[in-house]
Amino acid sequence: MHFKPDDTHNPDLQSWVESANDPASDFPIQNLPLCAFEVTHGEGEHRHSHAHPGVAIGDQILDVGMLVESGWMDREAPEDLIDALQQPYWFGIARSPRLVHDLRVVLQRFLAAGAGGGQQIRRLRDKAVRPLAETKLVPPLPIFNYTDFYASVHHATTVGSMFRPDNPLLPNYKHVPIGYHGRASSIVISGTPITRPKGQQSPPDSDPSAGPSFGPCKLLDYELEVGAYIARGNELGEPVPIALAHDHLLGLCLVNDWSARDIQKWEYQPLGPFLAKNFATSISPFIVTMDALRPFRRAAMERPAGDPKPLPYLSDPDDQSHGGFDITLEAFLLTEQMEAKGLPPHRLSKGSFKDMYWTFAQMLTHHASNGCNLQPGDLIASGTVSGHTPDSRGCLLELTWDGTNPDGKPKPRKPIQLPTGETRTFLADGDTVIFKGACEREGWRKVGFGECRGKVRG
């Protein structure tokens, strides 16, 4: 396991891509998150497209595939890295995550300000970058398996309070990372429109005998999450020891696991989420590698006195001291009316990933503890990231919750007030939800995740 920063994190490094040197940029030369983008060749019936691997640098995308095809990599990179880059997307790197560091070293050499080279290299630099705003990004790895966890104790406590005020957390919560298998086929890249789902909804409280109804979701919500891509997997029947779990993680992204609260209320018992969750999950286009995140590792959340210690298979001193991440997470809302008036998105919440009860290493280890075979490119998500303050709650279900009356019945939900005079308790058609995430620490360059956004359509 490698947690300490090295020369690739040097805050003094600059790039000839000037936008990367802006302190506000998510993508300085110290980050270089992995992505993939669509390249089209030919015309008419001969027109075809395929994905090229790239990394974000400032407001540009560096075409890593072009560096391989040009022969530049042959002179600058180790042979095993070149072989890995010949594989589709980032599968070669994912299967051998130790190569991520080699990749960062080589790409920083190409992107560094003041790097030498003749006319041929200067032409390659001009050709190898393209504006991010004009590039069609695709998922950096095809995702075949997706698991969503419930790792924020603050989220679990607030939601539990809505249904079990006297006992919000179920007895298993502090012993086992809770998760469920999601639908990988409905994971979509940031910017993809989200169609309001339809489904069965419970009979009205005022008339339980009326029976359930079927129709569009009325209580559509977002969930602010962080996702982790699996690097190398494990064979069926062979668990992953927690001491090795970090070597099975490639990097992190932002996730919006959209939720139809009214559909979920009716269907989730006894087997858990189904149609209320599988209609869409949005991901940001970039994998911020574990290597890039080294300066922002932190100790796992300190458990309150009296909480049980994790069982031995979920306990590791290195994970306890470095299993957390200092990631600031923000959720914004942009309504159609705000957009028409030229208003900026309205921030709904701001929280931190450091408040998670379970680490990604614990989630991964538990996932594989029964011998389940994880595969390169699989995605595991944290579940809604919420803090202990009301303004750090990561979904509308929590943000609009106003507690209970003395008789134990819930108070009416407290609507979100927007700059236009509009209010929201849940999402309306035309609303755009935007997530942002970044790591900042004194003495180091900011490392960001870009955006994860989606617009609701009816």
CA separation for the pair 82, 87 (Å, rounded): 9
The reply to whether 322 belongs to the active site is no
Query: In the 8-state DSSP scheme, what is residue 198?
Result: E
CA separation for the pair 443, 434 (Å, rounded): 28
Report residue 176 as tokens: 């086992």
Residues 6+ apart with CB under 8 A from 389: none
> β-strand 179-181 against 187-189: which pairing, if any?
unpaired
Report residue 261 as tokens: 């609260």
Residues 6+ apart with CB under 8 A from 234: 240, 248, 368, 373, 374
Instruction: Provide the β-strand partners of residue 256.
Output: 224, 282
Rg (C-alpha) for the chain, rounded Å, is 23
Residue 124 sits at φ, ψ, to 5 deg, of -65, -40
CA separation for the pair 452, 310 (Å, rounded): 33
CA separation for the pair 258, 381 (Å, rounded): 13
Query: In the 8-state DSSP scheme, what is residue 15?
Result: B
Q: Are the C-beta atoms of residues 382 and 153 closer than 8 Å to each other?
A: no
Which residue type occupies 57? Answer: I
CA separation for the pair 204, 211 (Å, rounded): 8
CA separation for the pair 290, 288 (Å, rounded): 7
Residues 6+ apart with CB under 8 A from 43: none
Neighbours of 184 (CB within 10 A): 17
In b/e form, how buried is each residue of 190-214, taking b as 16+ CB within 10 angstroms? bbeebebbebebeeeeeeeeeeeee
Catalytic residue among 52, 155, 246, 248: 155
Residue 399 sits at φ, ψ, to 5 deg, of -60, -35
* 339: enclosing H helix or E strand: helix 336-340
Q: Are the C-beta atoms of residues 68 and 101 closer than 8 Å to each other?
A: no
* 189: enclosing H helix or E strand: strand 187-189
CA separation for the pair 65, 52 (Å, rounded): 6
Report residue 224 as tokens: 């602010």
- Which residues are marked as active site? 155
